[in-house]
Every structure is written in structure tokens, then in C-alpha cells.
Amino acid sequence: MTEITLSSDIIVKLIRSSASDSGVVQAAQVSVKGENNPGTDMPRLINYLMESRHGSPFEHNSFTFYVKAPIFVFREWQRHRMASYNEMSGRYTEMLPEFYTPNEHRKLINAGTSARPEMVPGTSEQLQLVRDGDFRVAQTAWDEYQARLDAGIAKEVARSVLPLNTYSQMYTTVNARAMMNFISLRTDSEDAAIRSRPQREIEMGAEQVEAAFAAEMPQTHTSFVKHGRIAP
Amino acid sequence: MTEITLSSDIIVKLIRSSASDSGVVQAAQVSVKGENNPGTDMPRLINYLMESRHGSPFEHNSFTFYVKAPIFVFREWQRHRMASYNEMSGRYTEMLPEFYTPNEHRKLINAGTSARPEMVPGTSEQLQLVRDGDFRVAQTAWDEYQARLDAGIAKEVARSVLPLNTYSQMYTTVNARAMMNFISLRTDSEDAAIRSRPQREIEMGAEQVEAAFAAEMPQTHTSFVKHGRIAP
Amino acid sequence: MTEITLSSDIIVKLIRSSASDSGVVQAAQVSVKGENNPGTDMPRLINYLMESRHGSPFEHNSFTFYVKAPIFVFREWQRHRMASYNEMSGRYTEMLPEFYTPNEHRKLINAGTSARPEMVPGTSEQLQLVRDGDFRVAQTAWDEYQARLDAGIAKEVARSVLPLNTYSQMYTTVNARAMMNFISLRTDSEDAAIRSRPQREIEMGAEQVEAAFAAEMPQTHTSFVKHGRIAP
Amino acid sequence: MTEITLSSDIIVKLIRSSASDSGVVQAAQVSVKGENNPGTDMPRLINYLMESRHGSPFEHNSFTFYVKAPIFVFREWQRHRMASYNEMSGRYTEMLPEFYTPNEHRKLINAGTSARPEMVPGTSEQLQLVRDGDFRVAQTAWDEYQARLDAGIAKEVARSVLPLNTYSQMYTTVNARAMMNFISLRTDSEDAAIRSRPQREIEMGAEQVEAAFAAEMPQTHTSFVKHGRIAP
């Protein structure tokens, strides 16, 4: 019997990027002045674009990330269509015996409604119930998966018993405009003009995406936050 | 203990459409003649567009489908970005105790390679192994899911143990050009210039999509098949 | 010498649509309840979707328009990428001797800045200057175009002298979500949370698009206006 | 009277890129093996992806170009929706007195049909006719444009007389998959499985795009050519 592993991590690594605040300015200035026009106040121009929702100058860049997360996170992430995705395939390769389970920081109880969730912490008994259940179901499913593969069943058929918290991996590439839309919808922030209520696990990924965005395009990120975290 | 249900069906219903072969002709003719130009040989024009890969005239239409299928099918389907999707949400509503399992027609064994799968039938013992395993894991996972909900755990946390063969439901809207691309990649046909090797369960959905396409746009469908089932 | 025609019209005709408010509700409800759930308060649900920026339920519909407008309008219109276009081609067919010129309602003077234009009426002398110039340049260009065609020059080469106010024609298909984005950016309204300053000629087209939208999806349109004319 | 300039150049400069053949391999391999798997035969894998039309691994990269070309070229270029564009705006800035005219290499006569053009050289008299006409109409239009601006007419109104061969400028960003589609449709090559018949002026731009693509991703470009110049 294979030993399965449980983890509470959502891993996001910036693999490469071609992005800068000055690239936004360069693209925006072609509208008004032709190819070269150095003497611009960058923060002022970026704030003007963000405020007036001129979004296209924020598209001339790209970020490629490696992401390792449970399948239920990928299900939400890949609904964002203005991006590119390549994910590990359970048809082509054997899945790994790694499963997500919440840690003690994960709020387990919805004290709000379905439409407006307000998550609050669970008791330690509730956390234990979830973690034990995650282990037990994952072990049962994994053993079944292995028994099928041992019996010669195709990987694409065998995998159907694996739970939604099975870890998968992907590369994704996105530009800053689409990234702002993703961050806007997948993080919950007091600075947001329109509050989003993402599931915590995708938010853990989105926070790491936002950190990479802020590092590569600090003026653009500052302006995004200042204007209510709404993608232009 | 809730009784769970196993099924081998992939359900696709055409909810509404606004599509016709004449709409293709109308859009194509604006390129050459202005608004009105009745006297055209429709099959010849459609074949010309298909052969020379002038794809845009096939976009002025829409098809809306209701789909009920296991989550592993939706994972593949929703990777097609030129379409619209709204799916049942395990965050907002309780999932249903319905799970997919292969029937006797499902080929279970890959006699090819991962990159070039050639599926062949399994033995009745192999089928029984899969069906029993599907039932056992689904029942275990469903009981755990219910126990969590009974303990007050949020739906979004509770659901993570559910297997990939849990049924979900969606509405999807697509135009004929994107639909041809979907059919091209998600059906395996001897008429295809480039052979695709889709997983059988999404192919069962794609075959129903193709039937609706052929019914609403018969000349376009005929031309698509004639030109090697490649989307223009 | 061919007689040229000047016109001040932007023509938009709804050719066909597959759209309704109830289709929005249907798509949204699959998220929460499965296939059927009749007893919903439609305006309340649509307002909830609009306010919380759940945009995807507004995509399961389509509108196909015929548009006749000068090329400088098409240049702006076709920058909206979430739509389908087929336009009259100056490579495949001879252009028509029809040109746009402003009428007496067109404000001719920008009393604001480039970034924040505030258009105000011109004098009758200014209007006459523009209209005379439009006629004179169009006639010169058209005569040159005809002389080239008469000399056996290819249409694609001959057309390069035609002015930006030459009329062209297209079919375009769009869903309500993308249409709201188009209307938001291409109309100027006191109800708008973020003011847009479109060129008047594309606004004349966008107003007709908005009228068709309001006729086919009245609750959705009302909710769009109520929420500051921002596309969800 | 301002002196106008005629030119026969289409200028394309690669401003920045984040692209490599190894990035294609990296994205493709996540499907089969997880994060790291160095020992792969790169040309073989890229050829497999190209042949079987697995296009998504070619999306994890970006190229940003500066383009200077006449408006009739931009009209075609910007119809490619899987790309980002920012163009000089005749609403926000005064256009430049630069106009395109064919040089002696430009084939002026269509010896084929509209649907299947076969361009052949014109006589020196035909070339002179075109070049003289380009100059005469451009000068007439430019003088009218200046007279309007001098009379206080807004730039967005004044520009409508400018001809389609007026030069404009843009930045555009695109990934390799979309770029292959663009090159496939906008170049004419004997290696092409499906022959395209682009207008020569956009082909002059597409050839420069292809040169940048071949320099940054040589294996991918070689494979693209080998497989009939069809985008995967």
C-alpha cells in the first residue's frame, strides 16, 4: 500500500516574465505622440489609465507561473479565459499520491449565506473531522486507483475515483490586465470597491500571483489598489 | 445513509439556437457585394470558405446547451476558451449523490501508448472491478461529505473528498466555428485529416453536440466532414 | 465622372437575436439548484449578478447586427475583440461612392483637452467648411480611384486613396456581456459611474445597439443602467 | 503648405520578447511528468505537438512589436483578436504627413479573380499613375486637414478626409500560437499546405514578424514550416 501525503500548501512560482511599468507607458504613449516621448510622469499616466479604464496598455507584458494546487482550485482558476494553461494530465501520466487538507488557519464554517459567505473558524474537533476524513477518503481512493492500474485498466478510467483535493500541476501565462481581473475576483480585500468572496484555497494562489505582479510592476499594482482593485 | 446512484450517461440538450447555413452565406457575402445578393450557390460558397479556412462567417450564430456529465468531463470541456459556461457550484449548493461509471461498451484498456492511445475492450472482470470500485469509493466519499455537512462544515470545504466522477451540470453557449474546433478535437473519426483521440466520455458529449450542429446547419456540417473535420 | 453621395447616417439593423432575461436567470440558477427552479424573483437575481459582477450568465445569448458606417467608425468598433465581424472588402469588391459628412447636430469643436474632450457646437461657417471639404476630397479621391480601376490597377491597390469617411458595411455578432462593455465605452451618459467620451459617430451606432439590447432584455438593460452602466 | 512625405516601407521592430523553444517543452511536459524532466528530444517533441495540433504549449511566451504602416494594413492586422494593440489615435493627436505609395517591386495587377488573386507586375506607366495619384490625393487631403485644424475644428472631425494610406503606428503583443496563425494567413509561401493570398503590404509586415519568430524560437519555426505552415 502506497503511503499518501497530505499537505495544506498552494504553490505558485514565477517562472519568467516580461513586464514593467515603463512598458505600460510606452504602449499608452503611442496613442498620443508617436514612437518616442520620454518626459512623462509615470504614476500620473498610470493612474489616469486605471481611473478611466483604458485597459489595453496593460496587456503588453506576460507572466508565466508554475502552480501546484488541488484540482478544485484548478477548476476555478481555469475558468479565466484570458490566459494560457498546460496542466498535468491524468490520461497521459499517473497521478501523484498527494492530497490537500486544510490547516489550522483555514476557516471552516460559513456564518453567512451561500451568496454572501462569511467564513469563521471551526473548532479543533471540526478541523480534526475534516483532516481525518480527507486522509481516509484519499487513502481509499488511492488504493482503488492503484488496484485498477495493477489490473491493467487505462489511466484515464482508473483516475475517476480520485477526489477533488488531489494535487495537480500546471503552467499558466497571463498579462497584467487579465491578472488584475483574476486578482480582483480571487482575493478578498478591504480596499476593494466591490467585495469578492473567493474560496480560501484559490485566494492563497492569487495572493502569490499578486505578490509577483507587485514586484514586477509596482506602480501599476499601487494604482490598481488605489482604484478599488478593479481591473481596467 | 443516503443511497447513491451510478449512471453511464452523458446528457446534452440543445436549449436554444440561432443558427442556419444561410446566416453563413449572408455574413460571407457582405465581403463581396454589400447587403443583399440572393443568387448564390450555397454549398459551393460554404465549401469555398471551409477549404480556404475563412472561418469568421461561421461565427454569426449561437447554440446553448445544457450538459450533465461527470466532473472529469467538465475539466476537459471548459478548457475550450471560445465559449461561455455556467456550472453548478459546490460552494453555493449541495452536490447530488450521482456518480458516473462505465457501462459494458466502454473500452477499458489502452493497447497503445499515452501519446497515441488505442483503447480496446476489457474483460467482464475488469469492468466489474471498475464498477465496484466506483460504487465503493463514491459511497465512502458521499458518507464523509454528508457527515461534514451534518457537523456544520461549509459546503466548499466538505466537497473536497468527492471523486472526479461526481456528476455536475452546466449551460454552455458556443458559435459554429468554435463548435467545429471542439468537435474536431473531441471526436475520433475516420473522416478526420488529423486523428484525435479523445477520452470516450467527452466524445459521448461531443457526438450529441455534433448532432445538433448537423441538424441546424446541415450544409456547413457536410462541408466540415468533407474537408477533413478541421475547423476553418 | 461618377456622382458621389454624402450622408450623415450611421445605420444599425438587428438581423436576428437569441436573447432574453429569462436566459440569464436560467444560466445563473444552474450554479445553485440544478436544472429546474422556477420560483425566482427575476429583477432581484439580475440586480444581484450585476452588482456583484457575476458576468458569465449574461453570455448565453447572441445578437447579430448589420452596420453601415464610415471606415473611421469601423476602426474603433472592431477593436472590441469579444465579438465576430465580417466586413465588406475593398480587395474583393469595388467600394461605393458614399461618404460620411457631419450634419448640423454634430458638435465640431473640442473645448476640453485631448484626454478629456468636451465637444461644443461649431459655427455654421465651420460646418460649411467641413462639409465642403468632405465633398471636395471625396470627389478627388473617388475620381482617382476610378481612374486607377480604368487603368487596370488591382482594387486592393486602387483603394488606398479613399478617405476614412468612405462608407463600409459589416455584420457583427456579440453577446450581452460584451455588448454592455461596448455600450459602456461607446456612449456618454449622465448615469455612468465612469464617464466615457466616445467619438459621436460610433456613439450613434452604440445608441442603436443599446436600443436593441433594451428591447430584447429589458430587465438586464434596466439593471445595467441602475448599476452605473458598467459591464459585469 | 506642409510638405508631405511618401514612403514604401512597412516597419516592424521587435521591442521585447519572452520566448524560447525550451519554454514550449517545459509547458508540454507538465502534462506528462510533473515539474522537472530534462532528458527530452526537443525537436521530436515540438514536431509531435505541431503535427497533432496540440497548440497550448506554444502560448507561454510573448512578443511585443512596434509597427509603422498605412491604415489599410492596420485594418487587416487588428482583425486578429488573439493579440493586444495600442495604436496612435487621430482623436488625441495630430496625424503625421506621411503616406504609403507602392515602389517598383509592388505587383499592381490582379490577373486572377477576386477570390483567388494572382498579382503580376504593372507597367512603369501604371506605377507612375499610382504614385502620382497617391501624392496628389494625399496633398489635397492633408491641406484640407490642416485648414480644418487651423479653423478650430476638432482633430477627430478633421481627420476624416485623410486617405487609407496615411501612416499610423502601434504596439502589438502576441504569443507564438497566435503569431503562427497570423503568419499562416498573412504570408504566401510555397511551403503552405493551404495557400493564403494576403495583400502584399501586410505580408511585408508578416515577413518581419516571422523573422523575429524564427530568431527567438528556431525549432518551433522549423517545425511550423515543415508541417505546412498551419498554426497548431
DSSP state, residue B80: -
Q: What is the CATH number of the domain that holds C204?
A: 3.30.1360.170
Is residue A22 within 8 Å of A61, Cβ to Cβ?
no
Are C230 and C186 in contact by the 8 Å Cβ rule? The answer is no
ipTM: 0.95
Instruction: Give me the count of residues in chain C.
Output: 232
Number of CB atoms found within 10 A of residue B193's CB: 11
> How far away is chain B from the Cα of D213, in angstroms, using its nearest Cα?
23
For residue C98, list chain B residues with Cβ-Cβ distance below 8 A.
Answer: none
A131 inside domain: no
Pairing of strands B119-120, B109-110: antiparallel
Mean pLDDT for the stretch of residues A141-148: 98
Of A32, A53, A114, the CB nearest to C114: A32
Nearest residue of A to residue B93 by CA position? A114
Burial C2-21 (b: 16+ CB within 10 A, else e): eebebeeebbbebbbbbbbb
Residue B13 structural domain: 5-100+168-226
Q: Which of residues 190-219 of D touch B (CB under 8 A)?
A: 194
Whether residue C184 lies inside any domain: the answer is: yes
Give the tens place of pLDDT for each residue, B11-51: 999 999 999 999 999 999 998 765 455 557 899 999 999 99
CA pair distance B76, A156, nearest whole angstrom = 12
AA identity, residue A186: R
Cα separation, D135 vs B27, whole angstroms: 35
On chain C, the residues whose CB falls within 8 A of the CB of A114 are: 32
For testing contact with chain A, the best of C37, C46, C53 (most A CBs within 10 A):
C53
SS3 breakdown of chain A: % helix, strand, coil, rounded to 5?
45, 20, 35
Residue A38: the pLDDT is 53
Helix (H, G, I), strand (E, B) or coil at D63: strand
Which residue of A140, A146, A157 to mutate against B (max B Cβ within 10 Å)?
A157
Q: In chain D, what residues touch B232 (CB-CB under 8 Å)?
A: none
Q: Kindly state whether residue C208 falls inside one of the protein's structural domains.
A: yes
If one counts the domains in chain D, the total is: 1
* Residue of C16, C91, C148, C186 marked catalytic: C186
pLDDT digits (tens, 9 = 90+) for B86-105: 999 999 999 999 999 999 99
Chains sharing 3 or more CB pairs under 8 A with chain C: A, B, D
Note whether residue B80 is domain-resident: yes
pLDDT digits (tens, 9 = 90+) for A12-60: 999 999 999 999 999 999 987 654 555 578 999 999 999 999 999 999 9
Closest CA to B18 of B217, B205, B231: B217
pLDDT of residue A2: 78
Asked whether residue C199 is domain-assigned, the answer is yes
Q: Residue B109: inside a domain, yes or no?
A: no
Mutation for testing the A interface, residue in B80, B139, B160, B174 having most A CBs under 10 Å: B160
Cβ neighbours of B23 in C, within 8 Å: 16, 64
Specify the DSSP element, H or E, that contains B200: helix B200-216
Give, rounded to a whole angstrom, the gap between the first and last alpha carbons of chain B: 52
User: Is residue A154 assigned to a domain?
Assistant: no
Q: For D81, name the nearest residue in chain C, comparing CA atoms only.
A: C81
Low-confidence ranges of chain D (pLDDT < 70): 1, 33-40
**pLDDT at residue A31, rounded to an integer:** 83
Residue B55 binned pLDDT confidence (cut-offs 50, 70, 90): very high
pLDDT at position A112 over 80: yes
Alpha carbons B18 and C19: distance in angstroms, whole number: 9
Q: Does B170 touch chain C (CB under 8 A)?
A: yes
Q: Is residue D11 part of a domain?
A: yes
Q: Which residues of A touch D85 (CB under 8 A)?
A: 56
Task: State percent of chain A over pLDDT 70.
Answer: 96
Please report which confidence band the pLDDT of residue B209 belongs to, taking 50, 70 and 90 as the band edges: very high
- Give the Cα separation of D181 and D170 in Å (integer): 20
Strands B98-100 and B5-7, how do they pair? parallel
Indicate yes or no: CB of D194 within 8 angstroms of CB of B48.
no
pTM here?
Answer: 0.97
pLDDT tens readout for residues B127-151? 999 999 999 999 999 999 999 999 9
Segment 23-62 of chain D within 8 Å of chain C by CB: none
The answer for D 82-121 residues in CB contact with C (under 8 A) is 85, 90-93, 100, 102, 106, 108-110, 114-115, 117, 119
**Under an 8 A CB cutoff, do B134 and A161 touch?**
yes
In chain B, which residues have their Cβ closer than 8 Å to the Cβ of C56?
84-86
Give D114's contacts (C-beta < 8 A, 6+ positions apart): B32, C91, C92, C93, C155
Average pLDDT over residues C149-167: 98
Distance from CA of D128 to the nearest CA of A (A): 30
Question: Percent of chain B at pLDDT above 90?
Answer: 91
| C-alpha cell belonging to residue A84 | 494560457
